[in-house]
């Protein structure tokens, strides 16, 4: 049995069954939709992901909040009280301040529990890209690897996880400062779909702008052909924000052309979904990363 707990947060966009199978603890996060505050849990106990995107389509605008220090304190201390160490794999510091908050709480708890080890690791990843990293780390954790061994696996996964995604609703990117108002308005009128990736610091980059969904998906496939290590031996991760038909189409292209061993599809939850809007489709695979 491991003498530590492996923890992450719901920005990974994995499902509850995956966390359970790996033995990974998942910290929920809060968001606001309409007049109500919600907490997004992996099991969708307060609001389903489907309902979230239906309400976005109806015109409601969401917003998110960082994880409260007391939440970190509660989740970390639960393990510490059991005499276990803690390894927390966190949402990218390039996209949120949660990493610094977690480190602050870890430092405080280290003074209370000097015999225990608390590691906070920045995955420099988000959504299913982060989920890809967590699955690699979780498999090692489940196999009984030590904290240092899991950290080694995690760092390798981060360096070689190629994140590529297309977005449909440009106004959400404008709100986040990724596109100007003019770019968002013109892009929407021209049905431009930006292609984004994540750089070495875990920050988003707009890499290309494609005309229409099929051209955008073709770009994702091209990147896999160019950058993946032995893709026919890989199970790639796909994810969608309220557009299962795009993810299914991408999966069929990959499988029908024999490009990959398999592809699994996850839903983008409300936390990441609040910033990308309906229509985002992502693909993550192992390969030569940061080729922009």
**Residue 292: which pLDDT band, with cuts at 50, 70 and 90?**
confident
**Per-domain boundaries in the chain:** 4-159, 161-286
DSSP H or E stretch at residue 161: strand 161-166
The CATH number that domain 161-286 falls under is 3.30.1180.10
Please name the fold of domain 4-159: Rossmann fold (3.40.50)
Closest Cα partner for 194 from 212, 176, 218? 212
One fold for 4-159 and 161-286: no
Helices 127-142 and 147-160, packing angle to 10 deg:
150
Give the chain's mean pLDDT. Answer: 92
The CA distance from 241 to 276, in Å, is 8
The residue that leads in pLDDT, 174 or 106, is 106
Tokens of 273: 């979904």
End-to-end alpha-carbon separation of the chain, Å? 42
H-assigned helices in the chain = 16-22, 49-57, 69-81, 98-112, 127-142, 147-160, 170-175, 181-189, 213-227, 244-256, 270-276
Q: Contact, 42 vs 7, CB < 8 A? A: no
Q: Looking at residue 193, what is its pLDDT? A: 86
pLDDT digits (tens, 9 = 90+) for 212-226: 889 999 999 999 999
């Amino acid at each position: 049995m491991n003498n530590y707990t492996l923890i992450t947060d719901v920005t990974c966009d994995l499902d509850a069954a995956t966390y359970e199978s790996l033995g990974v603890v998942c910290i929920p996060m809060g968001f606001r939709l309409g007049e109500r505050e919600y907490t997004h849990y992996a099991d969708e106990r307060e609001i389903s992901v489907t309902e979230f995107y239906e309400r976005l389509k109806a015109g409601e605008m969401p917003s998110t909040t960082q994880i409260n220090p007391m939440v970190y304190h509660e989740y970390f201390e639960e393990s510490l009280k059991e005499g276990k160490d803690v390894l927390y794999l966190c949402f990218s510091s390039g996209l949120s301040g949660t990493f610094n908050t977690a480190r602050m709480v870890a430092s405080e708890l280290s003074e209370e529990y000097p015999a225990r080890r608390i590691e906070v690791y920045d995955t420099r990843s988000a959504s299913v890209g982060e989920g890809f990293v967590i699955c690699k780390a979780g498999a090692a954790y489940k196999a009984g690897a030590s904290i240092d061994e899991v950290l080694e696996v995690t760092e390798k996964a981060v360096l070689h996880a190629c994140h590529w995604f297309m977005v449909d609703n440009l106004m959400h990117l404008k709100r986040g400062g990724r596109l100007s108002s003019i770019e968002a308005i013109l892009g929407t009128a021209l049905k431009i779909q930006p292609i984004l990736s994540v750089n070495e610091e875990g920050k988003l980059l707009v890499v290309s702008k494609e005309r229409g969904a099929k051209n955008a998906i073709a770009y994702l496939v091209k990147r896999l052909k160019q950058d993946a290590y032995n893709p026919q031996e890989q199970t790639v991760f796909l994810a969608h924000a309220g557009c299962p038909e795009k993810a299914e189409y991408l999966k069929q292209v990959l499988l029908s052309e024999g490009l990959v061993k398999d592809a699994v599809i996850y839903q983008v939850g409300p936390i990441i979904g609040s910033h990308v809007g309906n229509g985002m489709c992502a693909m993550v695979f192992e390969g030569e990363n940061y080729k922009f």
